[in-house]
Structures are given as structure tokens and as C-alpha cells.
A and B are shown apart, each in its own frame.
Chain A
């Protein structure tokens, strides 16, 4: 496969703060490549540098063979970017916004309306074509922003946190649209802080923390990093925080994760720790509702690789000011 994107030793400083720290990777033609990391990890800075919105402090990126620092206009012809904030023109209608984007991207006059209507149909927006962008719901705005990024048939689509702030149904619909775009041969680079989203959508994932890439691989291979670890999940009728310290002190337990009324024990000695754990819980008066053994998830691998609590990934970035509803 040919490289659609190649990033070499990319670094970005904002004053004394280093947002991106010497990162290198490549994205193959036709794959969905995900940048997974908590807020402030450097995902958006990387994407903005790769598309020519921000100048790198050092290093560069080649997009479809064009150096972004030397040929930014050529790069912009090849790509579509969906920024984190849906930032189309509030006063223009859905159709008006798409036609305006088609004009700016040099789509031939005869094709502008045809292509716009085709995208509105594809993205389920046909009935909203005469509505001003500012009157659309957040989910529909997001769809239209993606449609606008595809107006000129780009080879590569960049999506910055595509489902942030969307309700479950809208997010699910959007993920389907992203997978359909891949089927049509589009290369997709996306950033996300939702671990399940990265696992569902991406062929390969780069985990980025504090501006540095910790690992790049397929979700399966990343999960294999914690293969030797087994997980015992116990459901309880009620849970107290005091239990965590007590359970962590048990011999053979490496990590304890508490999620509402479930406790997950990470261990390499499942046979040896199961009985002492159950005994300890019962001694504390906890009523056990269920016991399961699980395979390690991408979330487990993320926790192991980064050393961060996965709760950190559930925190949404505050939405920036913009024409969102």
C-alpha cells in the first residue's frame, strides 16, 4: 500500500509549551487511522499542522506526496477537514453552504449543485436543504460539516473529534457514515478520546499522550500488549471506596478498577486470587451478584500503556464558541 500521509519528526511549540513532541508515523491509502488520547494530548495540534493551518516548529508532513510546509495549497486540494467545531456559515442554508464550498474548491459550475444535492441525500439532509445552518441540530450540523469536507472528492479526510458532544443515536449514525466513506476508498485520519470509538472505527491506532506517541498498531495488537493479564469482574449490590485499598493489597492483584457496581481485578494469577478476593468481599459484608472472567479490552491496554486512569478519557473538552446549538 502507498502512504497517503507521512509525518516525520513533527514538533510544535506554543511559546514554552511543547504541544507535539517529535512524532513520526504514516497512514496507508484507504485505511482509517486514529489518534487516541486524552484532551490536551496534542491531537488537534497534530491535525492542524498536518493540514497546513498551523506551522510546525520542526519536522513536516507529506500529504499525498505534497510537503505541507512547502505546498500548502496543493495539500488543501487533496484533503477535507472536519474541525472539532462545526463551523459552516450560520446564515447560509445547508445547500447554500455546500455550493459555496464547491465554489471555493473549484468544483466545475455544472457539477456544484448536483454534487451538493447528492451529498445532502447521502448524509440524510435532503429535507433540511433550505434550512439555515444555525437552525440545524448539533448532529445535523456535524453531518453537514462532514458533507462540506467531501464536496471536492478529497483523497484524504481528516476528522477532529467527530462525535464529541453528540447524542448516542447521532454518534452512531455518524460512525456508519465514516465507515461508508472508507468503503468508497477514502483514507481517513481521525482523532478521538473515546476508546470504543477508536476500536470500532480504526484499522490502526496511535496512542498519544503529552505530545508523544506511545504506540502505533492495530486495535488487536494493542490489546495483545495486555494478553498475559486476566481480568476478574465481580458485580456487587453496593460498593464503597474503602474496598479498593483493601483489595489492592491482596497478593497477585495488579490493578483494581471500580465502575459503578462492578469491580475489575487485573491479575496474572487468576486461579490463585479468585478465592481470596471473594472471601475478602464477603468479610466486608458485600453481596456478590455476578462473577465473570474477561479478555483485556483496548481500555485495559490504554491504561497499561499510558499509566493513566481510563476515566480521563471520558472527560469531554468544553465546546468552543461557535455556531453550535
Chain B
């Protein structure tokens, strides 16, 4: 197990160092969240306090899923994924490595945005450790979502397009800009099925003084359940696709 984690870390380290400058990652994983933040900030500099949790969640979503799309599809296209399949690694180690790389990249971008927004808006962090765990669980869940989408396609652009089918509706359904409670029925049902809802809710607890719709512990547990579910599903599909394609 220790050896597996070590090798996953090597995969993640290589992915982080290799892919952070790829154009699709810069446009979708870095520029889009930053543009969102600036667009809201310049419209009403002091009025975006309420949407800061949503903007941080959105940043995490876009940066993690974009990196995940790159690390699988790009390597599949150039044949480099085969190198991992040739090494003495099992599917779980490879998937863990790819997930970790995407999560670390997403966390770096989201932390950067958070470190700008929190002092700028005069916010403070409550429930510090829960705040950290929300970042980690959300990053893992979003990366796995990206991987789940990208294992099924061949090209990077296909993975990005497919990801947008999930990402754009999430912007409106997960309480990023307006609360889930104010949405007409049946939209809240969809909201409860998406991980970003619990990221935003948890961040609202930490940054806006317990303004979440469900308890913070429940947000964390649901996000953890998403991580476990998405990892199992991704592993199953990853194995199946690789056996079909190779």
C-alpha cells in the first residue's frame, strides 16, 4: 500500500510538472475561473462577498476537471499512457496518481484565488480544518469527475466539451450565484445530486458564518461519499476501457 501511494505520488508529480502549461488547461482551468472572479469584482467590488464561496468552488471545479481531462486523454493520444500500463503498477495506483495530480493542480489555483479574495473581501475562515477538508474532498471529487469523463473519449477537446455538459449546469444548479433554496421545483433535486452543491455549502459555513443549508459535518460526509463513489466508478470504467482499447 505504501509503495502504491509512493508511485501514485511520482505520477502526480510528473503530471504537475508536465501539463500545467498546456493551452486547454490554461484557458479552462486557470483563465476561466479568474475571469469569473474579475467580472464579478469589477461589477460591484464590495458586493461579491456572498458569492465568494461559489467562486472558490467554481475555481476548484474548473481547474481540477480540466487537469484531469488533460492527464488522461493527452497521454492516450500520444501513446504515453501505455508506459504506465507497462510499468509494474495496478490500475488503482495509476488512477490514484492521475487523480492526485489533478487535485493538487486544482488546489493550487483555488488556494491562489482564495488568498486574494479573503483579505480583499474582509472575510475570515471559521472551522479551519473543515475548510481544508472541503478543499481536499471537493478537489478529489471534481478530479474524479473529470477522469470519469475523459477515460471514455479519445481527444482532449472531446473531454473538455463533455466536461462542460456537467460544469456549466453546475454553475447554476449548485448555489454558486443564488441559493439552492430559491430554485423552483424540481431543480433542487438535481442540485442535491451534484458535488459542487456541498462544496459551496461547506464554504459558506466557513466563510460567511454558518449560512449553509445543511450542517457542515454532513457536507463533509457527502463529499467524502462522492469521492468513494466516483473513485470506484472511475476505476471500473478505466479498467473496462483500457481492456477494450488495448
Contacts and interface: CB of A to CB of B under 8 A. Distances in A.
B85 A53 contact: yes
Contacts of A53: 82, 85-86, 246
A323 B79 CA distance: 8
Contacts of A90: 78
A106 B8 CA distance: 12
Interface stretch (A80-88, A135-143, A174-182, A282-290): A80-88
Contact count band on B: 20 to 34
A81 B82 CA distance: 11
A307 interface: no
Nearest to A100: B14
B10 A73 contact: no
B246 A48 contact: yes
A323 B7 CA distance: 24
Contact of A105 (B11, B19, B82, B88): B88
Interface in A79-108: 81, 83, 85, 87-92, 100-101, 103-106
Nearest to A81: B86
A87 B77 CA distance: 10
Contacts of A83: 79, 82, 86
Interface SS of chain B: helix, strand, loop or mixed? Answer: helix
Interface string A102-118: 01111000000000000
Contact of B79 (A87, A92, A101, A104): A87
B57 to A, nearest CB: 30
A230 B79 CA distance: 47
A320 interface: yes
13 contacts: A48-B246, A73-B90, A81-B86, A83-B79, A87-B78, A89-B18, A89-B83, A92-B14, A100-B14, A104-B87, A106-B3, A321-B77, A323-B80
Interface of B: 3, 7, 10-11, 14, 18-19, 77-80, 82-90, 243, 246
Interface of A: 48, 51, 53-55, 73-74, 76-77, 81, 83, 85, 87-92, 100-101, 103-106, 320-323
Given A91-B19, A101-B83, A321-B78, 19 more contacts: A53-B82, A53-B86, A53-B246, A81-B86, A83-B82, A87-B78, A87-B82, A89-B18, A89-B83, A100-B14, A103-B10, A105-B87, A105-B88, A106-B3, A106-B88, A321-B77, A322-B79, A323-B79, A323-B80
